[in-house]
Structure 1
Amino acid sequence: MPFKIENINNLSIEDTLKLLNTSKDGLSSKEAKKRLKEYGYNEIPEYKEPLWHRIFRRFWGPIPWMIEIAALLSALVGRWEDFIIIMIMLFVNAFLDFYQEHKALNALEVLKKKLARKSIVLRDGEFKEIEAKELVPGDIIKIKIGDIIPADVKLIEGDFISVDQSALTGESLPVTKKKGDIAYSNSIVKQGEMIALVVATGLNTYFGKTVKLVAKAEQNQRSHFQQMVIRVGDFLIIITIVMVAIIIFYGIKRDENLPELLEFSLVLTVAAIPVALPTVLTVVMAIGALNLAKKQAIVSRLAAIEEMAGMDILCSDKTGTLTQNKMTVGKPFVIKNHSHDELFKYAVFASKKENNDPIEKPIFEYVEKNNINIPSFKLIKFIPFDPVRKRTEAIIQIDNKQIIATKGAPQVIIELSNLTDEEKKLAYKKVEEFAENGFRTLGVAYKFDVNEKFEFVGLIPLYDPPREDSKEAIKEAKEKGVEVKMVTGDNVAVARYIAKILGIGDKIYSIRELKNETHDEYIILAEVISKALLKQFNLSEEEIKQKVNAIVNEVKKEVGEKLIKGSVKRHESEIIKIIEEANGFAEVFPEDKYFIVDELQKADHIVGMTGDGVNDAPALRKADTGIAVSGATDAARAAADIILLAPGLRVIIDAIKEARITFERMKSYTIYRIAETIRVILFMTLAIVIFNFYPITALMIILLALLNDIPILAIAYDNTKIEEKPVRWDMHEMLVLSSWLGVAGVLSSFTIFYIIMVYIHAHPDNPFFPALPNWVDIKNYSSFLAFVQSAFFTKLVMAGHWTIFNTRTADWFFKKPYPSKILLFASISTAFIGLIIGVYGFRLITPIGWKWGLFLLGYTIVWFIFNDFVKRLVVNYYRKVKGVNVI
């Protein structure tokens, strides 16, 4: 059974060696081979779906079925031009879907490639280089500066190493590891060299957990957009099938020509099925993606645009997104009798610029920025920081005068200095203040003689400052109805300080407390025991308090990664409530980010997640909208839906605005499409069933479908409003409005039906309506019927194009935002083409002439205005009575 890292975190080196049945002499090649068979390779196992299967899946499912049925029906009735157009739509949708999935699959590939390639291992009593994938639990390896740690290891020999594990845990600074500590796979060694024992490999490593979480996040889960398309498609298909079935039933009952009846029914079915719906909406999103690209946001999954429009919670990592990812000097504390410049002078003496240490770098930058004069000096000796001494020390020489300067952990520097009790008390108070605000503090001191005590100069607080645009961006996000929750691997104090500055809120919790995985038991025990022991010595209460705090801080550091699980478990509903109310979480690991997103989604939130490291990949994949920030790792980019090219939250706010614009375009088209289908199919069915009258022919249905769908692509370029709150698909609301508009369209069709078929047929020479063209014989039913059908075709084409101007905005059609020039041109020109076809016929239909053409143009415009009244009544009713926005 493979060993998991949590099983051996708390074991001593000797117990760990015993558990793994190994020694400091390493394994033999024979034993290593045996274990390789037992544990498997130190790599990420991968399942590759066959290419044919990935392609086949593009043509299987509710949306492809809808298009394929339409294509089949077109072929059955011999409408090959429709068949070709529909098949093109099918393949375009399949290609776009395949391409998006291909990009998503790269996440696992990138994570796999991140594993180290080679490792120096102790086998058969000697160190040799092997492929890292051949490492097994129990191996003894050597790790040194510059190495990528190839597996989870326990450090067993050497002084210390400093490792950068920011891509795994999100910690912004390198972490010092010493003998007995665990170092994680894929961390980078920044300083030092040690011998280590391999304790976990492959998927059992900390890194492996991240990979498993990425795989766990459903790759093919349907987005809200896909669900909406399926539901709209199902609704329209069911209506169409029911209506067509009624037409066929009554046709057979009336002994109509069966082949002609079936052909007409099939053509009507093809026209009613919204085959263009997925394509039009995809084009709308693609245009939105292009607009986002101009704003430094690259979209890798189109449906993520729609998800972002409805996003109501944004989980943002701290480092690099909310903050500058650059350690900066805060307001320093200087002890009396010393100056600000002295503090930084001695700090520079105790530093080494060429080390490029992230703790020392801000000190040099501060000195340069503030023009602090540093005298020329000769470095005699430099002792780097180590986890035992907890400080650096330098012996320098200035004008034949020797100075010993030191900097490091403030508690250590204070205790080494010649401070009075009052000065010590003040210094410790400042250390506590800095710690409460999340600062990392350095103490600075110096002396002239080795045998003297150090002269304490002061404290230098360091922190990662917020980005200048973060506070304003968070404020705007709240105004847009998006709550920003900080999710960081840093400690609670740091998170609370940044959250306070940025106005995020003060409810920042440790994720360990939420999940009942806290080291409070250790802390309380350490506090009780240390107090009891220290009271045996002749110490003041203040000294006892200071020493207890120092011991407690040390215990916190030691057991920070060695969490024990609490016995009381919260109910999931309570956990969800806490997460919803929280403003952020600290001390977060990869599985915690995934957990937070998952719990919020269970509460019906649409969740966005920002990230930049390997540790963020699972949550980025799980989130409704995964956002890889500027400078993100390849793994994070591959897992994300949107990749930012510019730093900070400002880009995300711009992306939210663009996403909501795109959503409004999609919604207006969807309402239009439903309304048009109801208008045509309901009118056709009622006319045929009640009056035994076929309003238009099969050819006219095809022409109507083509003229209605082709220009509607211009909706992708329409001007629209930006909603102030997150927007979502609501089928009930959309169906209500589209149904009312559809019924209004049916009413207008039956009104013109009465005018022509009843009134004009009885009063051909009336003064109210245009005279019939001279080529129409009112006494000849076939001639008159052909004219009536042409009139209905012309009316339906023009009325359909005006409907989009009803659905594009909730306000009156003549109010801002005005339609774009492209939409106006496309709609009016195509409506005009329909009018010209109706007027002249072109041997396709019976011409109606200009008098009737202009009359129908005016008639449809009047009904367009009436439809806008209907829309406003429905919208106002839902806003006032139901409290919701329909459009």
Structure 2
Amino acid sequence: MERKTDDYVDHPPEDTLNTLDTDPDQGLSEAEAARRLERFGPNEIQEREEPLWHRVFRRFWGPIPWMIEVAALLSALVQKWEDFAIILVMLLVNALLDFFQEHRALNALKALKQGLQGEAIVLRSGQYRALPFRELVPGDIIRLKIGNVVPADVQLLDGDYLLLDQSALTGESLPVSKKTGAVAYANTIVKQGEMRAVVVNTGMHTNFSSVVSLVSRASLKERSHFQKMVMQIGNFLILITLALVLLIVMVALFRHEPLLEIARFALVLTVAAIPVALPAVLSVTMAVGAINLARRKAIVSHLTAIEELAGVDVLCSDKTGTLTRNEMQVADPILLPGQSEPDLFLCAALASRLENRDPIELPIFRYLDEHYPDVDWRSYQQRSFTPFDPVRKRTEAVVSRADDRFLVAKGATQVLLEMTELDEARVAEVNRQVDALAAKGYRTIAVGRRRDGEPLELLGLIPLYDPPREDSREVIEEMQRNGVVVKMVTGDNLAIAREIGGLLGLEQRTIRSAQLSGAASNELLALVEALTTAIYRRLKGGVPFKEARRFASEVMEEVGRLYDTRLLEREFLHTHESAIVEMIEEVDIFAEVVPEDKYRIIDTLQKGDHIVAMTGDGVNDAPALKKADCGFAVANATDAARAAADIVLTAPGLSVINEAIRQARITFARMKSYATFRIAETLRIILFMTVSIIVFDFYPITALMIILLALLNDIPILTIAYDHTRVHNAPLRWNMRELLTVSSVLGLTGVVSSFLLFFVLQEHGVSEDMIRSLLFLKLIVAGHSTLYVTRAEGWFWERPWPSPLLMVATFGTEILGTLIAVYGVMITPVGWAYAAWIWLYALAWFFVNDVIKVLTYRMLRREGAVD
């Protein structure tokens, strides 16, 4: 009984009923339905939810968490409870920030599951009754009518027709007509009509479940570039820390120093090397960016999306409802000779019903009210009305006003032409006009009128299209100026996609879904086609045409079975991946795509080292939104799209995306500034301490000073999240070579400045305790000064200047550190004279550091290490 839904397409309903062993007049018995529910499971999306304990636990797993946890453990072992408390608070704050942001995000599978909730009218044991969607089983007979959500994959049994909105599932902008024998898929919406249907597949066996499986697969996407960067910084500092701590321990043991002292200073060095606040500061920086976006009607579900958005160089956008309004609009109508536009739209409106809210008919009423408000169509009465159906392909109505009575019709042009008595030349001209409109992607409706005893009079043609949003073209142009390539990915047909793409300013390099999915097997198909053609030509001479054609088709099928096309396609994809990436890079518009195609396009671009953003609004967009590095769900998106997206837009249009990119690049610059500062400062302290201990047998700062440095350095630096930064006009990425080179050079420069001060103080006979206090003050003042060096690649005085909040926080802690050193709070006092000299010394090195930074960036640019 278990078959794919597509196996029932064009399958006679009688055979389907026999296959499913169900009676169309009685339905299933309760006992049989219970057995099938046990066999097939509930009609719902099954999900595997990550346990709460696992979500919490993984926040404490990884190189930087390990370093922090080891430091906390060592602090507890040597009973340094103040150190232990500070380190533990930093660890918990970072974990809770990350957990809270993830908790805010909706779970995509839960939202998709909700798409199947509701009740259906089901025939059981000869009686119709309402049952929850989840209780449906294959073989159930159900009724579908206007407004219903199709609860499972079904085959239509009887009734006039159904007009189904499949846009959320396929991306098609227009409803699709279905008649007896056709298959309707789960989660589509009935816009018109009423029919009975038999359920053929439920739950995870529906076509809708393929979207769910793609979302599940996309949920397993790799770590973000931000997470990879934090891991690389952690690994870099871990290696240095382990090497230097091991070196210190070996030297201390060789000198026969007390074991407790060795452990103590090993701990101090470890704490100094760990960027305890790095993840927290970067998370807060991104959170501030998320708050700024929220003010502009963009809700961030995943913080790392902000960092990813800064590097986005390709935006794949759905068309229907995203770049366009998802609201049909009348284009320039075409009138036949002797006809008027008011008459054309009057008759079109009279052949419609406003209360049906048909998306094809609503724009006709709007056009009539806006352009011809004096035409009183409401004064006419519909004496009879025949709705559209897939067989007749037209609507008809008999209308009257006073003594005037006539028939109006609208529908497929070919159908109405057959009802007229136009000459062949006129018919050919009308068909040519329809073909021209179709080539531009327009849906064309013909309108006619007939009075008693006369043939149908064709009045003209009304072209319809889904127009772009007012801001879409401007948004795309701005993205292109900012280095982002925009690609349209739509389920609509090629002509519509190309026409809308032209209106939006996209280049016309276009490809169909079939070309995309078949790219890998083109060579095989060409071979099979050549073989079939050869056989066909040989047989054509002596065998009847139909038999030759049938035999050729059988040969093609046999060759297809003999050579596993899918296997060859996988091998082709593996060996020609770079060629496929290049092909997708060159295409601007992808038409007639399905969810799997959107997912494949995103995946292929990512394999080509692109950072990809995706916009969409439907269930069909959810897998691609989840797979993308940054997924945008536009206003009025489905729950599934919102849950899968990283950023949810709450205002119509896409203009906020450019603001989001701008905010992301600002946030990225802030994070880069802090990361460079933090690595440089860590290297300054760890290298200075290691060399001092090993070479000079001198402990330059105490454990208490290390804790004070950690507090005075990291906590105020949170204000970097509010700093002013330059907005780059090109995508930004983490360049670890650049980051580590610049920060290492600045770190080594700091070590040199510290040793120079140390030698000068020793030369002047300053006591060791006084030297430690002065070095502590120098590390505080020079450390925060370094932030003003790292916040930009150019000279420190270039705009934009630092934010007032950053300056208050950094200078405030420098002054606090100065007061601690001057008055000797828990350390040896230095007095104001020495403090003034330290400030002048740090200021001089500040200028030296800025020169070295600029020269380092120039060197890296010459070597091609900086974009």
- Please report how far the alpha carbon of residue 95 of structure 1 lies from its aligned counterpart in structure 2 after TM superposition: 2.2
Q: Is the 8 A contact 2:8 2:183 kept in 1?
A: no
Per-residue CA deviation, residues 633-657 of structure 1 (Å, 9 max, x unaligned), is 2222122111111111211010000
Q: 1:44 aligns to what SS in structure 2?
A: coil
The answer on 1:789 being equivalent to 2:791 is no
The number of residues matched between the two structures is: 821
Matches within 5 A, 1:37-52: 37-52=38-53
Q: How has the CA–CA distance of structure 1 residues 10 and 388 changed in structure 2, closer, same or farther, with 3 Å as cutoff?
A: closer
The answer on 1:422 being equivalent to 2:425 is yes
Q: 1:58 aligns to what SS in structure 2?
A: helix
The aligned counterpart of 2:558 is none
Q: Is the 8 A contact 2:102 2:301 kept in 1?
A: no
The answer on 1:466 being equivalent to 2:454 is no
The aligned counterpart of 1:559 is none
Matches within 5 A, 1:635-646: 635-646=640-651
Q: Is the 8 A contact 1:383 1:394 kept in 2?
A: yes
Q: 2:614 aligns to what SS in structure 1?
A: strand
Q: Is the 8 A contact 2:328 2:360 kept in 1?
A: yes
Q: TM-score, normalised by structure 1?
A: 0.89
- Please report how far the alpha carbon of residue 715 of structure 1 lies from its aligned counterpart in structure 2 after TM superposition: 0.4
The aligned counterpart of 2:833 is 851
Per-residue CA deviation, residues 469-509 of structure 1 (Å, 9 max, x unaligned), is 11111011011111111111211111111111111221222
The answer on 1:874 being equivalent to 2:856 is yes
Q: 2:359 aligns to what SS in structure 1?
A: coil
- Specify the code of the residue in structure 1 equivalent to 2:516: L
Q: Is the 8 A contact 2:469 2:653 kept in 1?
A: yes
Per-residue CA deviation, residues 415-455 of structure 1 (Å, 9 max, x unaligned), is 32222222212211111111111111111111212x43211
Per-residue CA deviation, residues 271-307 of structure 1 (Å, 9 max, x unaligned), is 2211100011111111111111111111111111101
- Specify the code of the residue in structure 2 equivalent to 1:840: Y
Q: 1:795 aligns to what SS in structure 2?
A: helix
- In 2, Cα distance between equivalents of 1:210 and 1:631: 19
Q: 1:348 aligns to what SS in structure 2?
A: helix
The aligned counterpart of 1:676 is 681
Q: Is the 8 A contact 1:70 1:275 kept in 2?
A: no
Q: How has the CA–CA distance of structure 1 residues 105 and 358 changed in structure 2, closer, same or farther, with 3 Å as cutoff?
A: closer
Q: Which moved more, 1:593-602 or 1:737-746?
A: 593-602
Q: 2:448 aligns to what SS in structure 1?
A: strand
- Specify the code of the residue in structure 2 equivalent to 1:799: A
Q: Which moved more, 1:615-624 or 1:668-677?
A: 615-624
- In 1, Cα distance between equivalents of 2:835 and 2:108: 58
- In 2, Cα distance between equivalents of 1:483 and 1:233: 33
The answer on 1:826 being equivalent to 2:825 is no
- Please report how far the alpha carbon of residue 221 of structure 1 lies from its aligned counterpart in structure 2 after TM superposition: 4.1
The answer on 1:595 being equivalent to 2:600 is yes
The answer on 1:17 being equivalent to 2:23 is no
Matches within 5 A, 1:245-644: 245-375=246-376, 376-449=379-452, 451-516=453-518, 569=569, 571=573, 572-644=577-649
- Specify the code of the residue in structure 2 equivalent to 1:852: Y
Q: 2:428 aligns to what SS in structure 1?
A: helix
- In 1, Cα distance between equivalents of 2:689 and 2:219: 43
Q: 2:309 aligns to what SS in structure 1?
A: helix
Q: 2:107 aligns to what SS in structure 1?
A: helix
- In 2, Cα distance between equivalents of 1:849 and 1:515: 76
Q: Is the 8 A contact 1:169 1:489 kept in 2?
A: yes
Q: Is the 8 A contact 1:418 1:456 kept in 2?
A: no
The aligned counterpart of 1:77 is 78
- Specify the code of the residue in structure 1 equivalent to 2:431: Y
Q: Is the 8 A contact 2:164 2:177 kept in 1?
A: yes
- Specify the code of the residue in structure 2 equivalent to 1:13: P
Q: Which moved more, 1:326-335 or 1:633-642?
A: 633-642
- Please report how far the alpha carbon of residue 28 of structure 1 lies from its aligned counterpart in structure 2 after TM superposition: 3.7
Q: CA RMSD in A?
A: 2.3
- In 1, Cα distance between equivalents of 2:676 and 2:391: 69
The aligned counterpart of 1:5 is 5
Per-residue CA deviation, residues 742-794 of structure 1 (Å, 9 max, x unaligned), is 11111111211221223x23xxxxxxxxxxxxxxxx5xxxxx11111111111
- Please report how far the alpha carbon of residue 566 of structure 1 lies from its aligned counterpart in structure 2 after TM superposition: 9.0
- Please report how far the alpha carbon of residue 565 of structure 1 lies from its aligned counterpart in structure 2 after TM superposition: 8.7
Q: Is the 8 A contact 1:329 1:362 kept in 2?
A: yes
- In 2, Cα distance between equivalents of 1:172 and 1:837: 69
Q: How has the CA–CA distance of structure 1 residues 104 and 6 changed in structure 2, closer, same or farther, with 3 Å as cutoff?
A: farther
The aligned counterpart of 1:817 is 800
The aligned counterpart of 1:862 is 844
Q: Is the 8 A contact 2:71 2:267 kept in 1?
A: no
Per-residue CA deviation, residues 97-136 of structure 1 (Å, 9 max, x unaligned), is 3233334453222221221433233333443443332222
Q: Is the 8 A contact 1:517 1:565 kept in 2?
A: no
Q: Is the 8 A contact 1:71 1:87 kept in 2?
A: yes
Q: Which moved more, 1:603-612 or 1:101-110?
A: 101-110
- Please report how far the alpha carbon of residue 372 of structure 1 lies from its aligned counterpart in structure 2 after TM superposition: 5.0
Per-residue CA deviation, residues 800-853 of structure 1 (Å, 9 max, x unaligned), is 0000011100110011111111111111111122222222212x2112222221
- In 1, Cα distance between equivalents of 2:596 and 2:83: 50
Q: Which moved more, 1:223-232 or 1:392-401?
A: 392-401
- In 2, Cα distance between equivalents of 1:442 and 1:203: 39
Q: 1:45 aligns to what SS in structure 2?
A: coil
- Please report how far the alpha carbon of residue 198 of structure 1 lies from its aligned counterpart in structure 2 after TM superposition: 1.3
- In 1, Cα distance between equivalents of 2:119 and 2:798: 67
- In 1, Cα distance between equivalents of 2:823 and 2:205: 76
Which stretches of structure 1, 4 residues or more, deviate above 4 A after TM superposition? Answer: 564-568
The aligned counterpart of 2:746 is 741
Q: 1:269 aligns to what SS in structure 2?
A: helix
- Please report how far the alpha carbon of residue 607 of structure 1 lies from its aligned counterpart in structure 2 after TM superposition: 1.3
- Please report how far the alpha carbon of residue 336 of structure 1 lies from its aligned counterpart in structure 2 after TM superposition: 1.5
Q: Which moved more, 1:133-142 or 1:636-645?
A: 133-142
Q: Is the 8 A contact 1:2 1:39 kept in 2?
A: no
- Specify the code of the residue in structure 2 equivalent to 1:54: R
Q: TM-score, normalised by structure 2?
A: 0.91
Q: 1:158 aligns to what SS in structure 2?
A: strand
The answer on 1:168 being equivalent to 2:169 is yes
- In 2, Cα distance between equivalents of 1:315 and 1:384: 39
- In 2, Cα distance between equivalents of 1:470 and 1:640: 20
Per-residue CA deviation, residues 383-407 of structure 1 (Å, 9 max, x unaligned), is 1111111111121123412221111
- In 2, Cα distance between equivalents of 1:181 and 1:400: 44
- Please report how far the alpha carbon of residue 192 of structure 1 lies from its aligned counterpart in structure 2 after TM superposition: 1.4
- In 2, Cα distance between equivalents of 1:611 and 1:71: 46
The aligned counterpart of 2:697 is 692
Q: Is the 8 A contact 1:160 1:178 kept in 2?
A: yes
Q: How has the CA–CA distance of structure 1 residues 565 and 586 changed in structure 2, closer, same or farther, with 3 Å as cutoff?
A: farther
Q: How has the CA–CA distance of structure 1 residues 847 and 220 changed in structure 2, closer, same or farther, with 3 Å as cutoff?
A: farther
- In 1, Cα distance between equivalents of 2:599 and 2:698: 60
The answer on 1:802 being equivalent to 2:802 is no
The answer on 1:722 being equivalent to 2:727 is yes
- In 2, Cα distance between equivalents of 1:154 and 1:81: 71
- In 2, Cα distance between equivalents of 1:170 and 1:63: 44
